[in-house]
Amino acid sequence: MLNNISPKFKYLLPISLPFLLIFFRGIADITVLLIGLVFLYQSYKSSNWQWIKQQWFLFSLIFWLYLLLINTPLSINSSESALYSLAFIRWPLFAMAISIWLLNNNTSQKYFLISMAATLLFVMLDVWWQYFFDYDFFGNPRYSLTPERLTGPFRDNPMPGIFMARYLFLLLYLGFFIKYIQAPTKNSAFIFLVILLGILSIYITGERMALIIFISGASLVSIGLLLEYRKIRKYIYFGLLLIVSFLVIAQQAFPELNNRMITNLFYKLSNFSSSDYMLVFKSAYAVWMENPIFGVGFHQYRDACIDLGYWGTSGGVCMHPHNISLELLSETGMAGFILYYLIIISVASSLIKDFLHSKSWLLLFLSLNLLFISFFPLIGGMSLFNNWVGAIVWLFVGWVLAIPKRN
Q: Is residue 20 part of a domain?
A: no
Query: How many domains are there within the chain?
Result: 1
Look at residue 8 and tell me whether its pLDDT is greater than 70: no
Host domain of residue 73: 49-88+276-407
Look at residue 378 and tell me whether its pLDDT is greater than 60: yes
Q: Is residue 36 part of a domain?
A: no
- Return the pLDDT at 84: 94
Look at residue 109 and tell me whether its pLDDT is greater than 80: yes
What Å distances lie between residue 229 and 14, 181, 226, 366, CA to CA? 30, 14, 6, 14
Highest-confidence range of 86-90, 136-140, 158-162, by mean pLDDT? 86-90
Buried b (16+ CB within 10 A) or exposed e, 310-344: beeeeeebbebbbbbbbbbbbbbbebbbebbbbbb
Q: Is residue 348 part of a domain?
A: yes
- Return the pLDDT at 273: 62
- Return the pLDDT at 146: 76
Q: Is residue 197 part of a domain?
A: no
For residues 383-407, average pLDDT: 87
| pTM: predicted TM-score of the whole model, two decimal places | 0.92
- Give me the helices (H) in 254-323, please: 255-258, 264-270, 276-290, 301-307
Look at residue 126 and tell me whether its pLDDT is greater than 90: yes
pLDDT more than 90, % of the chain: 63
Q: Is residue 313 part of a domain?
A: yes
For residues 80-100, average pLDDT: 95
- Return the pLDDT at 6: 54
Q: Is residue 328 part of a domain?
A: yes
Angle between helix 361-375 and 387-402 (nearest 10): 160
The overall average pLDDT reported for the chain is 89
pLDDT tens digits, 245-266: 888 887 777 777 777 777 766 6
Q: Is residue 399 part of a domain?
A: yes
Q: Is residue 186 part of a domain?
A: no
**First vs last Cα of the chain: how many Å apart?**
15
